[in-house]
Structure 1
Amino acid sequence: MGKVTGLVARATKTKPVRVVAHYSARGGPLMASGLSYQAIFAVFAGIWVGFSIIGLVIQQDIGLRNSLIDTIAAAVPGLIDPGDGSGAIDPADLLEAGALNWTGALALAGLLFTALGFLASARDAIRRIFDLAGPSTNFFLLKLKDLALAAAFGAALIVSTALSTGSTVAIGFALDLVGVGSDSLVATILGRTIGLVVVLALDTVVLAALYRILSGIPIPRHRLIGGAFLGAVGLGILKALGNALLGGATSNPLLASFAIIIGLLIFFNLVCQVILISAAWIAVGMADNGIAADPAAAEAARAERERIAELERIAADARRPGVFARLLRRLDPRQDQADRAK
């Protein structure tokens, strides 16, 4: 029992265990559940509006269109239907989306409501992980900031898709020059590697933006990049195992009619937990090194502690024997001289 107790004590001092304890103590699992519920509606509305706006452009570029659909399908397993009915959205419906009809207008309104609501909830959740209160910024300024971030995230997705497509074409052209076919094993490995690197970089940038820009927390750069990269790796693992996880979680025959939606809810719940656990990793690391998440509040708390300590010292001095006699001698120099003469 002594050895077991010692092992448990050493395990609880490790950073991963302390991060999970910090995450749980701040209500992380509950906040992740709420975020996942909002995320699924924000994603559906965002995809519809996105294809409504850029549909006329990407329909002219078949390569970019297919790459964008494949990127979305890889990012969220079970969202895009590959043709066997196992996805929630038919790609043909996306390509027919229109921004000028009433469905596009309703989707746009839904996007503004759900996406901005998700970002606001994500901000509050991340700040709670860092033991911070809500931001004091004007409400309308916060919404404008959230809207700009949502547009930036969508633009980053399109740019990463274009980069992935362009790099694949460039690799194929370079391999053809050296006599290696684009369908060879080397070309396949290089293409997938570059695709994984692009996705990992995009996820790292998005998470860093969530932790630093959206939440408004002054996180040191090296800790921000380290925590965001850790979260991006976790998201990559979820994407790689997404179909297997969702297949096992939705195998109940009673849930067959709702398997896709339930699977997406489970996936988004795991994604939100990875996001918040990575935030907890950064928060614990900053606390271990004495880095305040809110420098102004930390300075005010330090000044208050010093003021209280000074009051306690004065009170302790006042309780010492003879303190009043010494105080009177200091106030009356003649009495002090008489005492010295004696």
Structure 2
Amino acid sequence: MWERINAIITWIYELRFMRAYGRYGWARGYLLAGGIAYSALFAIAGALTIAFTAFSYTLGGNKELQQTLFETVNSSLPGILKLDGSSSGLLDPNDLIIENPINMASIISLLVLLWSAASLMTALRIAILGMYGITYLPRPFVKAKLLDLSGALMIGIGALVTVSLVTVSTQFSEIVLDWMGIPGVVGNYLIYIGTLLIALLVDTGIFMFLFSVMCGAHPPLKDLVRGSLLAGVASSILRILGTTVVSSVSENALLAPFAAIITLLIWVNLLAQVTLVASAYVANPPAPGEPTKSQLEHAEEYPNYVTQTVKRTLEWNFDPMTGVIAPSPTDDQEDLLAPPWSGIKAAWMKRKIAKVEDKVTDAQRELDAARHAYAQAAWDAYSKKSTPTTSDKLAQADPQDVGKRLAREQRDSE
């Protein structure tokens, strides 16, 4: 019976979603989502200011479309805007429109707002890469910032596309439903479902852009579509629940003054968690395993981490970017792993082991130096015996390249 239960538990943990959630946990997704939500408080107002100002100077003459945009933003970020003269909400959308953007003060303000939006997307990019298990991607600073801004721009374009499609489809659907004679209640439900599907498709496209182009990962297309669709569905559910939470919190006399800010914090945090879990789902990682022997063997030492202060720790196998102790290539060997032990005798024996390790390190350095000296002498002798050449290309050949060629020829002959 217990074997069957353990088999079921093992099967559950091997499911793709559980493996993704395990990666999310080990990559500290909760902390990253909290940091993203905190950064969003400083960036959302700037992003909305840029978006509303650009909209007012391009399509602002269409008041119906403008109102639809405000309502869409308010549904995406529940309770952030004051609409229809309501006192609930954090910001008046009209206050976010810069009346004269072509002056030095406005240009500087816009640059600051752009930097805030880019910083938020940078935090999101780093968090998404963490779900993929990628520590670092070599990118020029300017290119990285432009790609981060492209993520913010894609979100803004997505909101505008959603508003436009919803407006057009709603008006067209009303005409079609009236022509087909479908009752108003049923027609309203069909229109509502249609708007949800449009928002889902746009959200899925945005997540595909964030999970691949902006962050620089190269997942298989099948995984990318599945994970982005999962994120789109989850964000749509959050959007619906967010509006419900705002209305319920607003009825609480104690929380009503803070309903918008509380809801915004919670909602952005949940959306960040959805984004990170979905990116881990795209990554499709293996199930988390147990720590290797080489990762545990230094756990009882002082220090038990890599530090410049104690030079012998620099000989451990560790990630040069993060300093995290990495598995050793010799972990597959049958080495003895002793249980935890403390006391005077244990400390004395550990100190003896440390001294021997230092001697081994010194001996390894001497061995490397001797091998290098031997190789250099061998190449000198080889050069003296070689036939002189008049070819500049051969004369400038790197001995290492020649050595690689000789080794390859030797392997081919075998």
TM > 0.5: yes
1:198, 1:188 → 2: CA distance?
A: 15
Query: Residue 340 of structure 1 corresponds to which residue in structure 2?
Result: none
What is the 5 A alignment of 1:20-35? 20-35=21-36
Residues 204 and 176 of structure 1, relative CA distance in 2, 3 Å threshold: same
Q: Whole-Å Cα distance in 2 between the matches of residues 176 and 220 of structure 1?
A: 44
Whole-Å separation in 2 of the counterparts to 1:115 and 1:263: 20
Distance 1:247 1:174, change over 3 A: closer
- Of 164, 167, 188, 1:165 maps to 167
Q: What aligned pairs does 1:20-59 form with structure 2 within 5 A after superposition?
A: 20-59=21-60
Alignment match, 2:148:
146
Change (3 A) 1:216 1:234: same
CA spacing shift, 1:4–1:97, aligned 2, 3 Å: farther
3-state SS, counterpart of residue 86 of structure 1:
coil
5 Å matches for 1:92-107? 92-94=94-96, 98-100=100-102, 104-105=106-107, 107=109
1:126 and 1:76 mapped to 2: Cα distance?
21
Distance of 2:133 and 2:251 partners within structure 1 = 39
CA separation in 2, counterparts of 1:67 and 1:247? 20
Q: Highest Rg: 1 or 2?
A: 2
Q: How much does 1:101 deviate?
A: 6.2
Q: CA deviation at 1:204?
A: 0.5
1:125 to 127, 131, 137: 127
Contact map agreement 1:123 1:214 (CA 8 A) in 2: yes
Aligned to 2:198: 198
Q: Percent identity?
A: 28
Higher relative contact order (CA 8 A, sep 6+): 1
| Cα separation, partners in 2 of 1:102 and 1:244, compared to 1, 3 Å | farther
Of 149, 174, 181, 2:176 maps to: 174
Quote how far apart the aligned CAs of 1:72 are. Answer: 0.7
Q: Which amino acid aligns with 2:144?
A: L
TM-fit CA distance, 1:249? 7.2
Q: Distance in 1 between matches of 2:281 and 2:72?
A: 28
Q: Judging changes above 3 Å, is the alpha-carbon distance between structure 1 residues 255 and 178 closer, same or farther for their aligned structure 2 residues? A: closer
TM-superposed CA distance for 1:176, in Å, is: 3.8
2:57 partner SS: helix
Q: Does 1:75 align with 2:85?
A: no
Give the Å deviation of 1:258: 3.5
Kindly provide the CA deviation profile for residues 113-147 of structure 1, in whole angstroms up to 9, marking residues without a partner as x.
21111111111111111111222011111112222
Distance across 1 between alignment mates of 2:252 and 2:106? 35
Query: What's the secondary structure of 1:87's corresponding residue?
Result: coil
Match of 2:279 in 1: 279
Distance in 1, Cα, partners of 2:177 & 2:48? 35
Q: Which of 269-278 and 44-53 deviates more?
A: 44-53
Structural RMSD (CA): 2.9
Matched position secondary structure for 1:108: helix
Q: Which residue of 1 aligns with 2:214?
A: 214
TM-score by length of 2: 0.62
Q: How much does 1:87 deviate?
A: 1.3
Q: Compute the TM-score of the two structures, normalised by the length of structure 1.
A: 0.75
Secondary structure of 1:68's partner? Answer: helix
CA distance 1:244–1:152, shift in 2 (3 Å): closer
Distance verdict in 2 for CA 1:98–1:172, change over 3 Å: farther
40-49 or 53-62, which deviates more: 53-62
Could you tell me how far 1:17 is from its partner in structure 2? 2.6
Cα distance change on mapping 1:14 and 1:258 into 2, 3 Å: same
Moved more, 60-69 or 10-19: 10-19
Does structure 2 conserve the Cα–Cα contact (< 8 Å) formed by 1:230 and 1:278?
A: yes
| Aligned-pair CA distance for 1:97 | 5.1
The total of aligned residue pairs comes to: 288
Alignment-derived partner of residue 242 in structure 1: 242
Q: In structure 1, give the amino acid aligned to 2:143.
A: L
Change (3 A) 1:255 1:105: farther
Residue in 2 aligned with 1:114? 116
Aligned 8 A contact 1:53 1:98 in 2: no
Which amino acid letter does the alignment assign opposite residue 217 of structure 2? I
For the 8 Å contact 1:79–1:264, the answer to whether it is kept is yes
Specify the alignment match of 2:264 in structure 1. 264
C-alpha change, 1:249 and 1:166, in structure 2 (3 Å) is closer
**Which segment drifts farther, 99-108 or 237-246?**
99-108
Whether the 8 Å contact between 1:55 and 1:95 is mirrored in structure 2 is: yes
CA distance in 2, matches of 1:260, 1:107: 25
- Structure 1 residue 214 displacement after superposition: 0.8
Whole-angstrom CA distance in 1 between matches of 2:185 and 2:131:
45
Mark the runs of 5 or more structure 2 residues left unpaired by the alignment: 288-328, 334-414
Q: Deviations over 1:160-206 (max 9, x none)?
A: 2111111112122323444557xx12331232122101110111011
- Alpha-carbon separation, structure 2, partners of 1:249 and 1:102: 42
Q: Secondary structure, in 3 states, of the residue corresponding to 1:80? A: coil
User: 2:137 corresponds to which residue?
Assistant: 135
* 1:87 alignment partner in structure 2: 89
